[in-house]
Homo-oligomer: A and B are copies of this chain.
């Protein structure tokens, strides 16, 4: 009897893990970590067909990782809680530490990583308040509108070149994007440095910031 309890319980836990056991679903979750999104948006960013996306979202909903809300024609999905982001960070962390393939991948694509001197999250707010740094959000403007770090300036990567002058006069720039492996901030920092500005990357992205209970600003 208690043996069955245990088996049943682990089977339930396994359902949650299984829902995470697919790269596409993880990607969807990462986008949802930034705020509500409808099926169409999610399909676009993940490169899946809408129907397929919908099915994956059903699965995530069945294990309680996301919920949805209908408004007009659209159905908006969102994470059921910040603990889901934490869980994903956990998976990511274990993978990075114990899975050799991940290390290879990261080394291959982000060889410059160390050179970009990521700034720890906790130092940021204080230094921003003192005016020592400008916080730069390089995500697309819709994502920025849905929520961003307090006081952050939004300049999507594509428009970075047009705003170089504004940034040049404002001390050091700290860029962030969707998460520690999102390439947007890396790219931004490289370009800014290429133009002679002082630029660094924030260690984590917006979802991690939010999940840590730090203050968030919306439009």
Contact = CB atoms under 8 A, between A and B. Distances in A.
A102 interface: yes
A80 B187 CA distance: 34
The size bracket of the interface on A is 35 or more
Interface in A180-195: 181-183, 187
A9 B90 contact: no
A83 interface: yes
A12 B101 contact: yes
Contact of A93 (B83, B88, B187): B83
A81 B98 contact: yes
A181 B11 CA distance: 13
A17 B12 contact: no
A22 B80 CA distance: 23
B91 A16 contact: yes
Interface in A1-43: 2-3, 5-27, 30
A140 interface: no
Nearest to A18: B21
